[in-house]
Amino acid sequence: MPFEHESFGRVNRKSRAALAGRHALAGIAEAAPASLLPFGNGRSYGDSCHNDAGLIADMRGLDRIVAFDPDTGLLEAEAGVMLHAIIDHCAPHGFFLPVTPGTRFVTLGGAVANDVHGKNHHARGTFGCHVESLELVRADGRHRLSRTENPALFGATIGGMGLTGFITRVRLKMMKVGALDVIERLTPFATLGDYFDRAGAADAANEYAVAWLDQLHGERGVLMAANHAEGGGFGTGSHRPRLSVPFELPVSALNGLSLRAFNAAFHAAKVRRAGAERRTAWQSYFYPLDAVGHWNRLYGPAGLFQHQSAIPFETAREAIPAMLAASRKAGQASFLTVLKRFGTIASPGLMSFPRPGYTLTLDFPNRGRSTRALLATLDAITVEAGGRVNPYKDARMSAATFAASFPHWAELEALRDPAICSDFWRRTALALPDAAVGSNAGGSLQRKSTELS
């Protein structure tokens, strides 16, 4: 049976009570405490988009692009619009997203609520750095937020995982580019030390930089740096995946044999194209996994865990090899291992994940206790290194790990809308000694839980 409104990790699978976003907006003033949670397109990996003790409000119906000024690049749109629709609308005028995550199938509101980052954090910071203003609906009314108008609530909403209220509109400054495609240069490296020695220079010379690691063959990998091409080329084409995993697999297709074969082929293909600059299609560079529909089904019916850490520059050369070694020792090498360098541009978001240093992303099929034990080990290495674990990629970190990662969490709790809560917030922030747990009853809005049209 299909499970609607699940997270992308698909670990906790069930049908969830939901209502249309417009109904939630109309009834939020009378909603019971902690009974609602905004829901975008479900691309968060864990339970930050779940509210199993109440209702989730599907915001995808509020998806209008209200205005775009091609002279200034200023876009105003409703929170439920997808990033791919924004690209379609703005690209003919020579504009692209200033920051984009690894998928274009996320909502504008979700990008703000998670303060997403991309391959150009060193150059542009996070998504929230480019938000001019927001419209937010809370139980106490409608608010306009910016750096100068309600600045504390503005900062708490950017990266606040939807807990401060319902983002209804966003004004975003788009980025002028010479073309959508990029000029890419591939640089293979044999060791992590080689990568660390090159990463700073790659950031300084390029708008974008990201490294892929072959965890099953030592420390080798490929650094992929790029800048937008010049001379035009703004056609967006189709956003439909070229391939798809059409059905639920009975077991994970990802094992040692398949991972070694994939990694060897991927590495060989990249090495063949290394050295010379080449024009790369924008879809392939920014969104390679979007080419495979439902690719998360490859991990099998138990789903997947993603672990993303941000490690300070000072400890990264020790902590990141230790995390990779821990996963190999556990016999659970990551299918997709990505390493990026975060810059020093501060986000306006109170709970923004990036920090100066490096970020390591690891994907694991869910094998139950053994996988959770490995993830706890990775958490411990991260915290000991002075780093943090990404909350919107998480489905199981402890309250203590969360508090160590975000010691200022209580500032968000103080600004959380009393009508809104998530499963993630209940098992982390509200499980801490200083938190006051509120009621989670569904309230009168339960009557509209099936009104999604």
In this prediction, residue 449 carries a pLDDT of 39
In this prediction, residue 249 carries a pLDDT of 78
pLDDT score of 370 more than 50: yes
Burial class (CB in 10 A: 0-12, 13-18, 19+), 238: exposed
Poorest-confidence range of 132-146, 255-269, 304-318? 255-269
The distance in angstroms from the start CA to the end CA of the chain is 21
Q: Where are the beta strands (DSSP E) in 216-258?
A: 221-228, 243-244
Poorest-confidence range of 57-71, 293-307, 409-423? 293-307
What is the rounded distance in angstroms from the CA atom of residue 102 to the CA atom of residue 290? 8
Each residue's pLDDT tens digit, 376-419? 999 999 999 999 999 999 999 999 999 999 999 999 999 999 99
In this prediction, residue 216 carries a pLDDT of 82
Each residue's pLDDT tens digit, 249-295? 777 777 777 777 777 787 788 888 888 899 999 999 999 999 999 98
In this prediction, residue 346 carries a pLDDT of 97
What is the rounded distance in angstroms from the CA atom of residue 215 to the CA atom of residue 53? 39
Each residue's pLDDT tens digit, 165-201? 999 999 999 999 999 999 999 999 999 999 999 999 9
Q: What is the mean pLDDT of the chain?
A: 92
pLDDT band at 1 (very low <50, low <70, confident <90, very high): very low
What is the rounded distance in angstroms from the CA atom of residue 336 to the CA atom of residue 26? 42
In this prediction, residue 445 carries a pLDDT of 44
Each residue's pLDDT tens digit, 97-130? 999 999 999 999 999 999 999 999 999 999 999 9
* Residue burial 415-426, b: 16+ Cβ < 10 Å; e: rest: bbbebbbbbbbb
pLDDT score of 437 more than 60: no
pLDDT score of 439 more than 60: no
Contact 115, 121 (CB under 8 A): no
Fill in the amino acid letter for 285.
Y
What is the rounded distance in angstroms from the CA atom of residue 104 to the CA atom of residue 40? 13
pLDDT score of 444 more than 70: no
In this prediction, residue 286 carries a pLDDT of 98
Average pLDDT over residues 153-170: 98
In this prediction, residue 3 carries a pLDDT of 58
Q: In what order do the strands lie in the sheet with 18-20?
A: 18-20, 56-58, 38-39
If one compares 246 and 423, the residue with the highest pLDDT of the two is: 423
In this prediction, residue 119 carries a pLDDT of 98
For the chain, give me the number of helices (H) and strands (E)? 13, 20
Residue % of the chain over a pLDDT of 70: 95
Contact 298, 249 (CB under 8 A): yes
CA distance readout (Å), 82 to 23, 79, 159, 324: 20, 8, 18, 34
Average pLDDT over residues 32-56: 96
The pTM assigned to this predicted structure is 0.94
pLDDT score of 426 more than 90: yes
Each residue's pLDDT tens digit, 348-365? 999 999 999 999 999 999
What is the rounded distance in angstroms from the CA atom of residue 220 to the CA atom of residue 145? 45
What is the rounded distance in angstroms from the CA atom of residue 418 to the CA atom of residue 138? 9
What is the rounded distance in angstroms from the CA atom of residue 36 to the CA atom of residue 51? 7
Fill in the amino acid letter for 16.
R
pLDDT score of 218 more than 90: no
pLDDT score of 305 more than 80: yes
pLDDT score of 4 more than 90: no
Average pLDDT over residues 32-60: 96
In this prediction, residue 436 carries a pLDDT of 58
pLDDT band at 247 (very low <50, low <70, confident <90, very high): confident
pLDDT score of 451 more than 90: no
